[in-house]
Amino acid sequence: MAIAVLDDDLRRGMYTFIRTASRPVTRDEAAAAVGISRKLAAFHPLAAKAPDVVCGINHAFLTGVVDGLAATSIRAVLDPGAGGCCVELSANPQPQQ
């Protein structure tokens, strides 16, 4: 069951931070909220050299998670920003029934 991942303290903390935020948060903000440095990520050198590759992988992964959960009210959206990319989970304007 997908909710079982919330047994992990870091994941639960990140989930709580994102869920209670008054606005969409970036991955950096979510990671910082639970004390994780994204600069230590193993893919960081690749992301610096080939952001389109990493963005595509992240987008495909999160799209698969959303699809796997049958969550029709949210969607994974590419939202590139300065200095990198971002995939954001946002409300689906037209959830499928």
Residues 11 and 35 in one domain: yes
Domain enclosing residue 75, as ranges:
42-97
The total domain count for the chain is 2
Write down the H helix ranges in 1-97: 9-20, 27-33, 44-49, 51-68
Residues 46 and 36 in one domain: no
Torsion of CA 72, 74, 79, 83, to 10 degrees: -130
Residues 87 and 77 in one domain: yes
Q: Per DSSP, what are the bridge partners of residue 91?
A: 74
Residue 11 has pLDDT above 60, yes or no: yes
Residues 75 and 88 in one domain: yes
* Average pLDDT score over residue span 48-63: 84
- CB-based contact 86:79 (threshold 8 Å): yes
* Average pLDDT score over residue span 7-22: 79
Residue 29 has pLDDT above 50, yes or no: yes
Question: Whole-angstrom Cα distance, residue 64 to residue 49?
Answer: 25
Residues 34 and 50 in one domain: no
Residues 36 and 46 in one domain: no
The position carrying tokens 């949210």 is 74
Residues 56 and 97 in one domain: yes
Least confident of 15-19, 30-34, 41-45, 86-90: 41-45
